[in-house]
């Protein structure tokens, strides 16, 4: 199957509410991003297991899309809404794009990936293709490992349709004959426990010299008859329902946010249904029955030619021992600006330090915190926690800091989506050992990434800080491109102290020296800088903006960019994901180019560059240009005033992406994305590959 080099149009069916700009549709833009990720599955220059990984990533992204973005559209369908942002029409348009994307996924899976795996001697064998020995092996496995955990539920007035958890695997069966009590209840549900592996490797004795797997759904399907003794199994299908998983907590009414979220987590798996996936051969009768049970319209039904959960195929990557089918391993080098064995505090007194992840190791950040924990002159450590992961060396260091008697204050964001339970557990652990734990400001997510260390040096206290565009998560720091910034700048660290004080006490934030904070002045200051640059451009002064972020959806910021572009400023936007600002529209955004980089690593750093004449400013930030980030989150942006570091960021994060002709996509005036000329050419320039080679050549790799 040939993937189109252009994605489908994503123009919103509704005009923008302000001005003449017709913005693109945010939800459609999110799906268009997944089209770009899916292109990696089709690329012959990508190792086979990595192509499978990208397929699984798209499936995971789609799961989250339906968990977070679909519910308002479905509610509009239920209410028959035809006006506003969410309508019957918006749902229909979204469903067309989503169905097209899913169809391409499974076409790639069946027509490209599976044949390619077969050539490598790796097979997922269906029941119809298994020989007698393999069927015997599967039967033994079913009786030993699967049957004891299955309890089919026959539906009748005493056994209503069971609660089906979000994204769980299930079977629906239509039975003939009568049950043990002489009744003709014909529908039964088989819920498959999550503890069972979705992919099972067959014994070498029956594999015929190949690496052979069977899917759990195939194993159960082959033995459905044995689960219904005395009944005839007629129609059947695997199915999976996706549910709205956005936790609804009333910020105005909640008294204890942690308790409220714990209660909410108990119900997350059973929220409003938003999507139903069934086997391609599912009968209309069973499909209609399920749609009725989950109160879903027909367009929410997805018939798939394969497993209903492609995400779980990631197990195959771990189960196959074939390093030649993976990307060559990459080990990040130790941060080049840091001298191992020399005190961080001494180094930061001389100059600020920049770390570019994942090319440089997150170990540098951990070592900074470790030195602070072990240094007897360090009196206090303050840190924000958003997504650290369930197993975190960083949290262990904070625990050790408390044990050593330091004042530890942690601002934990409990409402970090899908990490709520992990963060609740960390907050309870830290509180139990004596750390000061606060949850920021009710109604606002604390998304800023900052770590502040206060140290006694002679007769005075001195502050040192780490700021970041990404999370304090060693695992994602190996997969996301982000920037860490270490500094002892007294003005910037004083700003951070005031921000921590405000988050803890909720007192008024004083005037800051260098940092820009949302929801207070970040939005206003960015618009002001864009407008000032545009006005200068209108007077003949060269104006240049290069902005790198993950998403651009804030209307006021987009309108400011349009104004500046019309006044003559040259604007390049490097936006990995959703972008609602159309590029190169005649008379509207002629001077605005939008580029998306989809590479081996997830582009995640936020960099904002402004140049008016010979004066340039560069900011790093935790914030994307979305309304929620600007007005409903605590976000941080800070200037990089060191010319040396500023030029390094320009070269590695901006120029490199603008010259990428392997992994880059450009947004067209009609709302489609088109791969840049020469994309996919192994001899072309890929920003990420170039940076990997640059840092690998410097030696001092992680773990050495």
For position 631, which CATH number holds? 3.30.870.10
Query: What mean pLDDT comes out for the span 246-254?
Result: 50
Identify whether residues 152 and 194 lie together within a single domain.
yes
Least confident of 362-366, 389-393, 444-448: 389-393
Query: What mean pLDDT comes out for the span 584-593?
Result: 94
Question: Does the structure show a pLDDT above 60 at 18?
Answer: no
Query: Cβ neighbours of residue 590 under 8 Å, at least 6 residues apart?
Result: 565, 566, 584
So what's the pLDDT on residue 232? 87
Place of tokens 């549900």: 189
Question: Does the structure show a pLDDT above 60 at 643?
Answer: yes
More confident of the two residues 47 and 231: 47
Identify whether residues 467 and 580 lie together within a single domain.
no
**pLDDT tens column, 461-510:** 999 999 999 988 888 899 999 999 999 999 999 999 999 999 888 888 89
Domain termination residue (choose one: 511, 526, 561): 511
Q: How many CB atoms lie within 10 A of CB 232?
A: 10
So what's the pLDDT on residue 702? 52
Structurally, the chain folds into a number of domains equal to 3
Question: Does the structure show a pLDDT above 60 at 259?
Answer: no
Has residue 86 been placed in a domain? Answer: yes
**pLDDT tens column, 25-45:** 999 999 999 999 999 999 989
Domain termination residue (choose one: 493, 511, 529): 511
159 catalytically annotated: no
Identify whether residues 303 and 362 lie together within a single domain.
no
So what's the pLDDT on residue 245? 79
So what's the pLDDT on residue 16? 38
Has residue 335 been placed in a domain? Answer: no
Has residue 48 been placed in a domain? Answer: yes
Sign of CA dihedral 225, 227, 229, 230: negative
Query: What mean pLDDT comes out for the span 660-682?
Result: 87
Has residue 587 been placed in a domain? Answer: yes
Identify whether residues 507 and 539 lie together within a single domain.
no
So what's the pLDDT on residue 4? 43
- The two tokens of residue 348 are 């930061």
Of the candidates 42, 356, 447, 466, the residue annotated as catalytic is 447
Question: How many residues in the chain?
Answer: 704
Has residue 18 been placed in a domain? Answer: no
The secondary structure element, H or E, covering residue 532 is helix 522-538
Identify whether residues 553 and 457 lie together within a single domain.
no
**pLDDT tens column, 338-354:** 999 999 999 999 999 99
**pLDDT tens column, 513-566:** 999 999 999 999 999 999 999 999 999 999 999 999 999 999 999 999 999 999
Return the bridge partners of 461, or none.
Answer: 456
Has residue 581 been placed in a domain? Answer: yes
Residue 406: which domain range?
344-511
Query: Cβ neighbours of residue 446 under 8 Å, at least 6 residues apart?
Result: 384, 386, 411, 413, 439, 440, 503, 633, 634
Q: Is 583 exposed, middle or buried (0-12, 13-18, 19+ CB in 10 A)?
A: buried
Question: Does the structure show a pLDDT above 60 at 255?
Answer: no
Domain termination residue (choose one: 511, 528, 563): 511
So what's the pLDDT on residue 177? 75
Return the bridge partners of 333, or none.
Answer: 360, 701
| Phi, psi for 187 (deg, rounded to 5) | -110, 135
So what's the pLDDT on residue 85? 87
Q: How confident is the model at residue 229 (pLDDT cuts 50, 70, 90)?
A: confident
So what's the pLDDT on residue 15? 37
3-state secondary structure of 276: strand
So what's the pLDDT on residue 269? 66
**pLDDT tens column, 100-143:** 999 999 999 999 999 999 999 999 999 889 999 999 999 999 99
Identify whether residues 577 and 668 lie together within a single domain.
yes
Identify whether residues 358 and 270 lie together within a single domain.
no
Q: What is the mean pLDDT of the chain?
A: 89
Identify whether residues 280 and 360 lie together within a single domain.
no
Question: Does the structure show a pLDDT above 80 at 156?
Answer: no
Q: How confident is the model at residue 154 (pLDDT cuts 50, 70, 90)?
A: confident
Q: CA–CA separation, 572 vs 650, rounded Å?
A: 13
More confident of the two residues 434 and 646: 646
Identify whether residues 498 and 527 lie together within a single domain.
no
Question: Does the structure show a pLDDT above 70 at 444?
Answer: yes
Q: Is 400 exposed, middle or buried (0-12, 13-18, 19+ CB in 10 A)?
A: middle
So what's the pLDDT on residue 550? 97
More confident of the two residues 367 and 391: 367
Identify whether residues 315 and 356 lie together within a single domain.
no
Has residue 599 been placed in a domain? Answer: yes
Identify whether residues 294 and 373 lie together within a single domain.
no
For position 76, which CATH number holds? 3.30.1840.10
Identify whether residues 502 and 612 lie together within a single domain.
no
Has residue 381 been placed in a domain? Answer: yes
Helices 555-566, 522-538: axis angle to 10 degrees equals 10
Question: Does the structure show a pLDDT above 90 at 271?
Answer: no
Question: Does the structure show a pLDDT above 60 at 421?
Answer: yes
Question: Does the structure show a pLDDT above 90 at 282?
Answer: yes
Query: What mean pLDDT comes out for the span 224-249?
Result: 86
pTM of the model: 0.91
């Amino acid at each position: 199957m040939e993937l189109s080099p252009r994605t489908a149009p994503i123009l919103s069916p509704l005009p923008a509410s302000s001005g003449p700009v017709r913005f693109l549709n945010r939800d459609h833009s999110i799906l268009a991003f997944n089209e770009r990720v899916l292109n990696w599955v089709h690329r012959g220059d990508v190792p086979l297991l990595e192509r499978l990984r990208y397929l699984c990533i798209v499936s995971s992204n789609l799961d989250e899309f339906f968990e977070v973005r679909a519910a308002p559209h479905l509610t509009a369908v239920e209410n028959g809404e035809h006006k506003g942002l969410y309508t019957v029409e918006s749902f229909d348009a979204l469903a067309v794009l989503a169905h097209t994307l899913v169809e391409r996924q499974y076409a790639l899976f069946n027509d490209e990936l599976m044949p390619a795996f077969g050539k490598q001697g790796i097979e997922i064998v269906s029941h119809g293709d298994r020989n007698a020995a393999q069927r015997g092996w599967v039967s033994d496995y079913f009786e030993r490992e699967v049957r004891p955990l299955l309890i089919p539920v026959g539906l009748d007035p005493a056994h209503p349709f069971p609660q089906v958890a979000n994204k769980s695997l299930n079977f629906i069966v239509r039975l003939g004959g009568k049950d043990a009590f002489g009744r003709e209840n014909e529908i039964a549900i088989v819920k498959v426990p999550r503890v069972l592996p979705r992919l099972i490797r067959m014994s070498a004795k029956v594999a015929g010299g190949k690496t052979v797997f069977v899917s759990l759904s195939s194993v159960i399907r082959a033995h459905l008859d044995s689960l219904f003794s005395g009944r005839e199994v007629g129609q059947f299908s695997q199915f999976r329902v996706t549910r709205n998983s956005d936790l609804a907590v009333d910020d105005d009414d909640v008294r204890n946010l942690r308790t409220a979220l714990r209660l909410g987590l108990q119900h997350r798996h059973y929220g409003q249904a938003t999507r139903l996936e069934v086997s391609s051969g599912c009968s209309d009768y069973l499909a209609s029955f399920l749609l009725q049970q989950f109160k879903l319209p027909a367009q929410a039904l997805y018939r798939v030619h394969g497993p209903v959960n492609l995400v779980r195929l990631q197990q195959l990557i771990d189960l196959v021992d074939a390093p030649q089918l993976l990307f060559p391993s990459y080990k990040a080098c130790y941060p080049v600006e840091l001298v191992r064995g020399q005190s961080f505090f001494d180094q930061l007194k001389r100059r600020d330090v920049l770390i570019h992840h994942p090319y440089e190791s997150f170990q540098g950040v951990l070592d900074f915190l470790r030195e602070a924990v072990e240094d007897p002159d360090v009196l206090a450590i303050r840190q924000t926690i958003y997504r650290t992961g369930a197993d975190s060396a960083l949290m262990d260091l904070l625990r050790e800091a408390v044990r050593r008697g330091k004042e530890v204050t942690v601002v934990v964001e409990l409402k970090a989506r899908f990490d709520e339970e992990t963060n609740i557990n960390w907050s309870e652990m830290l509180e139990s050992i004596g750390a000061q734990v606060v949850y920021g400001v009710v109604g606002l997510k604390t998304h800023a990434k900052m770590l502040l260390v206060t140290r006694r040096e002679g007769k005075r206290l001195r502050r040192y800080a780490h700021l970041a565009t990404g999370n304090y998560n060693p695992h994602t720091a190996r997969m996301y491109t982000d920037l860490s910034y270490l500094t002892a700048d007294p003005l910037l660290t004083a700003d951070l102290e005031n921000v921590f004080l405000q988050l803890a006490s909720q007192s008024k934030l004083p005037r800051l020296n260098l940092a820009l904070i949302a929801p207070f002045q970040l939005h206003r200051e960015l618009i002001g800088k864009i407008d000032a640059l545009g006005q200068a451009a209108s007077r003949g002064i060269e104006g240049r903006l290069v902005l790198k972020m993950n998403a651009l959806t804030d209307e006021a910021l987009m309108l400011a960019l349009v104004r500046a572009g019309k006044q003559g400023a040259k604007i390049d936007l490097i936006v990995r994901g959703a972008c609602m600002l159309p590029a190169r529209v005649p008379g509207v955004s002629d001077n605005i180019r939008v580029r998306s980089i989809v590479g081996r690593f997830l582009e995640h750093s936020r960099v904002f560059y402004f140049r008016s004449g010979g004066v340039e400013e560069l900011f790093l930030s935790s914030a994307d240009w979305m309304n929620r980030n600007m007005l409903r989150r605590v976000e941080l942006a800070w200037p990089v005033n060191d010319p040396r570091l500023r030029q390094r960021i320009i070269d590695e994060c901006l120029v490199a992406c603008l010259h990428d002709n392997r992994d880059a996509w450009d947004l067209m005036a009609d709302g489609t994305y088109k791969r840049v000329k020469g994309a996919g050419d192994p001899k072309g320039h890929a920003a990420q590959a170039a940076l990997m080679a640059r840092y690998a050549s410097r030696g001092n790799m992680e773990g050495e």
